[in-house]
Structures are given as structure tokens and as C-alpha cells.
Amino acid sequence: MSVPPRTPDPRRDPSGARRNPPRAGRPADDDGPAPARSGRGGIFEAQAYTPRGRTVREQARTRTPRATPEKPEKQEKTGQPTLRVVDGGRADEPRAPRKAAAPTARTGTAARSGTRSGAAAGTRSGSTAGTRSGTGAGSRSGARGAGSVRTTQAKASRGDGAATPRPRTRTTAGGGTPPRPPLRRKPRTRPKLADPNRRLRLGAFLALAMFACIGIRLVTLQVLPTPAYANGGIQDRLRSVTLFASRGGIYDRSGVPLTHSVEARHVYADPEMVENAPDAAAKLSPLLGISRSELEKRMAKRKLPGGTPSTFAWLARGVPIEKAQQVMALNIAGIGIGRDERREIPGTDLAANLIGFTGEDMNGLEGLEMRYDELLRGTNGKHRFEAGAGDLDIPISGGFDEVVQAKPGGSLTLTIDRDLQYEFQRSLSENVLARKGTIGAAIAMDIKTGEVLAQASQPTYNAADWQKYDAADREDAATSFVVDPGSVHKAIIFGAGLEEGVITPKTVWKIPSTITKADVTYEDTHPAGGKKMSMAGALAYSSNVTTIKIADKLGPQKVYDYQLKFGLGKPTGEGMPGEAAGHVLPPDEWNGSSPGSIPIGHSVDVTPLQMAAVYAAIANDGKWIQPHLIKDTVTGDGRHVAPPAPETRQVISPQHAAELRNLMEAVTTIPDATGVSGRIKGYRVAGKTGTGKRVVDGEYAPGDVASFIGMAPAEAPRYVVAVFAYTPGGGGGDVAGPAFREMMQYTLQHYRVPPSTKSAPKYTAFP
């Protein structure tokens, strides 16, 4: 089988002789031997040859000679081995050891010279039988012909340099040489060199990324807010000054201050720096008004819970500025002053039971100061700034500076009239003390608005020096003094009787001297003895029997309902903290004597303010208006805020309210009536007297609680005044009447109410 001939190397012929390169005038296929060259010889040029290095022109000039069967024979005869480039390099350069390939036999022999001298020195020579043509033995063009024999020549002996051939032949079963597959060499791979452009791009990217990170960090540190870093270095230089917010004031209805705050100083001591405590206490005692022993105790050295020594102790609060300056003039080591606030009450005890007082920290502790503490108390501000150290302890210009403005507290405007309050307190105190009374309360109300114009208590106290008084002396009697109202409660029964049609102004009943309920007998102080008595006479003489008979006709449920309608049994919501609710019994809690005791004002718990509101409703044409003390509130930024509108409800009709007022005028006009001490010259007065009991922890206290509640002018009422006085030894009636007359007369004159133009009607108690 013939194989296509292998294209021979165009630069050498099959015999191994180098062909001359084509030149001008010379044929390209000249087979003449190449002239001998000195130096490196033909092997060097063969080493430098690569088939890819041929140009198109060289390929055109080169003619691929087809191998003929004769050429191998010619080579064999000549004995010149075909040149084969195995590895690059020069003949005179050392070669790396090479892995020996499996010996193969080709047609012909190959001999290696043992010497490296002369022109053939360093060359690898030999002959290989056969040609690289398609048909010769040893052909490498693909499939080899049958019977081809591949021999290898043994290495030459190292002794004499002569090469002794050791032919090895492989034969087939038919006696021929079997074909050997072509020698496949593993292609050599050159090491992959790094791409300089890639390295350059990577380096540029890393550099840009680094500069971008640095730039972002610089912007963050220099532009964006970084409190952690910005504040880290200035903590040691920061100074803080408190900007105090003043507490709001409390004013009367005309804007006159009842209490307000003024700037003051506090005096303190550093016990660790005080060198001579007894001497310092002796100097400070006259200025601060505190005993020497107390000052020494406050300046004594002591340990804090953590074990560290205390470096601060209060000596005095609210010290006037001039006193504080005198303290500093003493130049005592360890004694200092600071900004403070002092609550000033111009009227000392004026409305003290209403206003209350504040503590050293300017927080409300009692009264309206406590009830509206959140409104009155301001919010302190703070000024933080950077300052130097040592002698340069002054604010650093351009340094850190932060100001949180203080928010001053709001203010209260009361419905109280300062002048009226003063007169009520004076009159109440004089009349109660003159009759050996202990507790008294007086209230003045504007019947059209429900505003409380005056609310006096006895005893009272100086709110600027409240520590010297007992807690009971500081209570507001009008809202905390719980009593049995006594006969002033009868106005509710008469009003309900008129409204329900049980009685009329002209009703006349035969009234016995006594009436019995269960095992209790009730009698009148002015008994009718079975005579006929008018409703006016019943009120004038405060008939218990008549009142009980009206209640019997109403029934327990009606009595209870009208008690609630007139505001009994729950706080009025006037505005005072701790206001008592009182208590009225529902019908299912009545016992056998309740139908007799409850209508005349016993077994009923009320406060003086609750009863004043009852009479204000009668004076206001039967419309009950919630009494209230707060007229207006002013926020810290100057905004006026009106309080919620007071609760109102119609209890009895205006007609029946007017009829009831006419009946109650008999109390001050009928001779020997219970309320003649309440007459006021020039004015018609309608009212009612009462004698009840003081209730303490659900039990009656000894003595009597006398009361007088009235309205004037009776024909067109404007104001209601209620007076209650507790006298442990009795005789309270002599207190309430005269006190009422003084207070009502002053009220009418103060507000310039014109006198009555018509005289009171003539009443007959026993027609």
C-alpha cells in the first residue's frame, strides 16, 4: 500500500546535504552540495530554522522533491545520515539530559561519532535508511508499508569512539517487518508569560480604590457630623452652666400676684475645704437665720454611699441677693453661693390655704401649687461651651458652644378677688376666735358664672414659712371640712317639694310639735303645737316636723335624686386637690330613722363648698353651675388658655326657684326668725341657718357646726355667701350670722350693687 509522500524539508535534500538557497541565475532545485562553513556548521542553521519563518516567496521558490526509491539507496551508499533537528542549541553548549526515547529501527543505520573534533565535531550524524517519501522504509507520513523494518543503532562505545551497530528487527508472521506507528512527540508548551497590560490595569485600579477610600474618609471626618470624634477631644474643656427657668405665678382675677418667684441665691459648703466649721457657723448664722449647731452639722465631713468624701452640702436656699453678697464678703474657705429662686407671697397668709406652697426645689407640695405644678414649673436650660484651663478658664472664641434655652413656667389666673379674700379671712378669723371656734370656712360665689370670688379658711398660715404650722392648719376648710349640714339642707327638700307639686308658697299645714320615725322623735325649736304653719314660717323657724312631712310626701327616692341633682355626694371639681366628696345615702341604705334624719340634714356628709353651690343654683333660677377657681391659664410662651366650661344643669324651674327665694326671705324678716342676724340694711336677703355636726372618720365630733348661707339682693340675686364655723363648746349660731352679714355687705359694696328698691314681702308664720 502506497502512502502519499511527506513533503521534505525545502532547505535540505534527502541525502542530508544542505541545498544552496536560490539566487539569481541559479535554479531553485539545485542539488549541489552546500559549501562547507567554518564555526558552527550546518547544524546551527538547522537549529534556527522554523517552518513558520518561511516567507511566501521562499515557499514559491521551494519545490518539494518527491522521494524516489533510489534516494535511500544512494544515501545508504554514501553513508551520510540525514540531518534531523532534535533539539536546539549550539554544538559547543552543554545539553540538558534528555529522556531516552524507545529505540526504533529505521532502514539504514545511524552512527554517532565518538569524537567532537574537526568540522564534524559536536554534530549528531548518522544515516537513516529510507526516505521521508510516501513509499520508502522509515516513512513518517502516516501508515507504513508492509515489510518495513525499523532498526536502531546502538550507542557507540566510549572507549575508541567507534559506534557498533546493534540492529534490532521486528518481523511479522509473514516474515516481513510490521509497520510501526509514527513517533508522536508531546508538544512542548512554552511558559505563559504575565500580561504587563493586565498588571498595569490592576495596579491602577488598586491605587484608585485606595485614594477613593482615603477621600471618602476625609470627607466623613471634615464635612459630615461625627459626634463621637468631634466630642471626644473636647470633653475636658467643656463647661456647663444651668439656665434656670422661673416658676410661673398665681394671680387674682385682676392680675395682682398672690404668689410669684423672685431671683435669689443658695449658699453651700464644701466640707473638705472648710477649715474651721465652728468659726464659719458663727459668722454665717446671723446672716442665714440658722442656728450655729445646725450649720456645723451641715458642714460636717461625711462619706457618700460609694465611700468618696462629700464635697457639697446645702446651707440655705432662697437667700436674698443682698444677704448672699454679705456671705461672700466674709471670704470663708469652702463656702460658696449659686443662682437660686425664691417663692414670694406678698400677702403672707392671703389665700394661703388655696395657694399652698413649694419645696426647696420649687416643686409644688400643697394646694394649687401642687395641683398645677406641671403648668407652673418651668424647664431649666443649659449652656455648654468650650473653655480653657487654669488662668485661661474663659470661653474659647469659635469653640464649641451650645445653648438650650430655658422654658419659663406658666401662670394661673384665679377667680379670687384679692380684696374680697382679705376681708373674708379677716371677718371669719375674728368671729370664729371670738366664739372660741376652731375651724371656719367662708365662700363667696358669683351665681351667674359659678366663679368663686373668695374662699377663706380658719385657721390659716404664712405660706412663706409653712414649716412652722401643722398640716391640719394648712387645709382648705371649704373643700376638706366634712360636716352634717343641718338645717341648711332643708332648702333642698323645700325646692323638691315645690318642683314636684307637694307644696306651694301658700301651703299651710297643721304641724305637731314632734314627729317620730322608728324609735327616734324629732321636735321643733319653735313648736307650732298643732297650729297651722305656713311654708315661710316653717323655713323662718326651721321646722323639722314640716320638713320631714314634705320628705314623706316626696319619698326616699325623690329625696335622694334631688340631693344628687344639687351636687351632693361627689366633688364639685372646683380645682382644689384633695377635695372631699361627701356622702349621701341611697334609699336602699336608709334605716328606720333615716326618713326623719336625712331631710333635716343629718346622716348627710357635705362640704361647705357643696352647700354654697346648692344655694347658688337656687339664686340662679334653679340652674346649678359647677363652682370653679381657675379663670385663665397662661403658658410659658404667653398664650392664654381658657379652662373647660363648667358643668351646668337645671335642677328646678326658674319659677319654683323664685318662689323658694321668697320663702327664704322670711328667715331674715319674720321677727324671732333664726336668721335675723343676717339682715343687711338697704338690701333684701334670702337665706337659711343651720346647725350640724362635724364628721371625723365617720364619727360625730363634740360641739356644733353653725352655718348661714344667703343671697342678695333677694329680688335679683348676684352673689351667694356661705359661712360655716365649728365650735366644740356649742353656740355656733352666734358666729355664722354676724360673719355672714359682714361678708355679704362688703361684697355688695365692693361690687357696687345698688340697694333694693322694694321692701321684702310680709310673711306670717302662723296664719
Are 310 and 271 in contact by the 8 Å Cβ rule? The answer is yes
Is 489 inside any structural domain?
Answer: yes
CA distances from 383 to 45, 261, 380, 401 (A): 96, 22, 10, 8
Question: 319 forms bridges with which residues in the sheet?
Answer: 265
Whether 738 is covered by a domain: the verdict is: yes
Strand 250-251 versus strand 411-414 pairing type: parallel
Q: Residues 658, 620: contact at Cβ < 8 Å?
A: no
All three cell numbers of 337: 453661693
Quote the pLDDT of residue 179.
67
* Residue 81 near residue 126 (C-beta atoms within 8 A): yes
Q: How far is 761 from 767, CA to CA, in rounded Å?
A: 15
Cα distance between residue 168 and residue 149, in whole Å: 9
Query: Do 252 and 336 lie in a common domain?
Result: yes
Say if 571 falls within a structural domain.
yes
Q: Is residue 146 domain-shared with residue 265, that is, in the same domain?
A: no
Taking the C-alpha atoms of residue 491 and residue 483, their distance in angstroms, rounded to an integer, is 17
* Residue of 535, 555, 557, 560 lying closest to 545 (CA atoms): 535
**Grid cell listed for 744:** 355679704
Diameter over CA atoms, the chain:
186
Q: Are residues 647 and 548 in the same domain?
A: yes
Whether residue 18 is found in the same domain as residue 49: yes
CA distances from 618 to 129, 567, 658, 669 (A): 152, 12, 8, 19
Query: Do 429 and 373 have their domain in common?
Result: no
Q: Which residues contact 551 (CB under 8 A, 6 or more apart)?
A: 493, 559, 595, 598, 599
Per-residue pLDDT, 361: 83
End position of a domain, from candidates 157, 173, 189: 173
DSSP for 378-390 reads: -B-EEEEEEB-SG
Do 403 and 467 belong together in one domain? no
- Domain containing residue 641: CATH number: 3.40.710.10
Q: Which of 385, 411, 437 is the last residue of a domain?
A: 411
528 is written with which cell numbers? 307650732
Provide block-wise average pLDDT over 10 residues at a time, the chain (767 residues).
48 46 46 46 49 53 48 45 49 48 41 37 37 38 38 40 48 57 70 80 92 88 65 71 87 94 91 91 92 92 87 90 93 90 89 92 92 90 82 77 89 96 95 90 96 96 90 93 94 96 95 93 88 94 95 96 96 93 94 94 95 97 96 88 93 96 94 91 94 85 92 95 88 80 96 92 88
Same domain, 653 and 629: yes
Q: Is residue 192 part of a domain?
A: no
| pLDDT at residue 144 in the model | 40
**Residues facing residue 251 across a β-bridge:** 257, 413
Paired residues of 696 in beta bridges: 699
Exposure string over 291-320, b if 16+ CB within 10 A, otherwise e: ebeebbebbeeeeeeeeeeeeebebbbbbe
Residue 225 has a pLDDT of 63
> Cα(745)–Cα(724) distance, rounded to whole angstroms?
17
- For residue 366, what is the domain's CATH number? 3.90.1310.10
**Whether residue 5 has a cis bond before it, omega within 30° of 0:** no
For residues 612 and 635, state if they share a domain: yes
What single-letter amino acid sits at 334? G
What span, in angstroms and rounded, lies between the C-alpha atoms of 276 and 269?
A: 12
Specify if 762 maps to a domain.
no
Domain span at residue 272 reads: 240-411
Q: What residues contact residue 313 under an 8 Å CB cut-off, 6+ apart?
A: 268, 269, 270, 271, 298, 299
| 414 beta partners | 630
The cell numbers describing 46, all together, are 538547522
> Would you say 148 and 138 are in contact if contact means Cβ atoms under 8 Å apart?
yes
Helix, coil or strand: residue 510: strand
pTM: 0.68
What nine digits make up the cell of 685? 336677703
Q: Closest Cα partner for 365 from 451, 444, 247?
A: 247
Residues 6+ apart with CB under 8 A from 184: none
Q: Examine the domain organization and report whether 385 and 481 are in the same domain.
A: no
- Residue 711 shares a structural domain with residue 578: yes
Which stretches does DSSP call E strand in 494-566?
508-510, 514-517, 520-523, 532-534
| 178 is a domain residue | no
**Is 182 a member of any domain?**
no
517-556 exposure pattern, b = at least 16 Cβ within 10 A, e = fewer: beeeebebebbbeebebbbbbbbbbbbbbbbbbbbbebeb
Rounded distance between C-alpha atoms, residue 252 and residue 711, angstroms: 23
Residues 397 and 439 in one domain: no
Question: In a 10 Å sphere around its CB, with 0-12 CB exposed, 13-18 middle and 19+ buried, how is residue 139 labelled?
Answer: buried
DSSP state of 181: P
Give the residues across from 523 on adjacent strands. 514
> What letter does residue 628 receive in the DSSP assignment?
B
As for how many domains the chain has, the answer is: 4
Residue 421 to residue 474: CA distance in whole angstroms? 16
User: Which residues, 6 or more positions from 520, have their beta carbon under 8 angstroms from its beta carbon?
Assistant: 592, 593, 596, 597
Residue 757 lies in a domain: no
Alpha-carbon span 316 to 340, nearest angstrom? 10
Report residue 448 as a C-alpha cell. Answer: 351667674
- Cα angle value 220/222/224 (rounded, 5°): 50
* Secondary structure element (H or E) that encloses residue 625, with its range: strand 623-625
Instruction: Provide long-range contacts, Cβ within 8 A and 24+ apart, for 98-105.
Output: 101/183, 103/152, 103/168, 104/150, 104/151, 104/152, 104/180, 104/183, 105/149, 105/150, 105/151, 105/152, 105/167, 105/168, 105/169, 105/170
Of 411, 446, 464, the position where a domain reaches its end is 411
Query: What is the 8-class DSSP label of residue 87?
Result: S
CA distance 110 to 103: 12
Q: Are 437 and 550 contained in the same domain?
A: yes
Please say whether the beta carbons of 679 and 668 come within 8 A.
yes
What are the C-alpha distances in Å from 564 to residues 63, 354, 595?
138, 26, 17
Distances (CA, A) of 94 to 89, 97, 217, 241: 8, 9, 61, 93
pLDDT at 227: 64
